[in-house]
Every structure is written in C-alpha cells, then in structure tokens.
C-alpha cells in the first residue's frame, strides 16, 4: 500500500501554520502567567514564542 506524500511546499506551509499556532497558544499561556504574577514562566514562554515566530518566518522565506 502506497502512502501519498505531500509536496515540499505543502509540508513547509504546514510547518509555518504549526509554528504560528504554537506561538499563539504560548502567548495565551504567557498572559495567564502574567495575570498570576509568574514572571519566570512568562519570560520562558516569551522566549519560546520568539523562537517559533522566527521559525515560521524562516519557513515562509523558504516558500518564496
């Protein structure tokens, strides 16, 4: 049984969408941490958000 494979642009677009979705969820979690005065968790999430946003940007750039 053959498994259909996605094209490279389709896979890259999926990775862009996934990184953006993770960044949005982390932003929501960061807001909860801020509301609870949990600066350590907020800072950690903000750093990770930046990484996911950068990854999404780099992947979008690969798409042209």
Q: Which two tokens stand for residue 33?
A: 């941490």
Instruction: Give the C-alpha separation, 64 to 44, whole Å.
Output: 31
| Total-model pTM | 0.86
Contact criterion met (CB below 8 Å) for 55 and 14: no
Per-residue pLDDT of 8-61, as tens digits, reads 999 999 999 999 999 999 999 999 999 999 999 999 999 999 999 999 999 999
Quick one: which of 43, 4, 49, 42 has its CA closest to 23?
49
């Amino acid at each position: 049984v053959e498994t259909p494979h996605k094209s490279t642009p389709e896979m890259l677009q999926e990775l862009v969408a996934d990184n953006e979705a993770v960044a949005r969820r982390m932003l929501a979690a960061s807001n909860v941490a801020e509301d609870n005065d949990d600066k350590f968790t907020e800072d950690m999430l903000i750093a990770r958000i930046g990484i996911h946003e950068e990854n999404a940007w780099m992947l979008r750039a690969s798409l042209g």
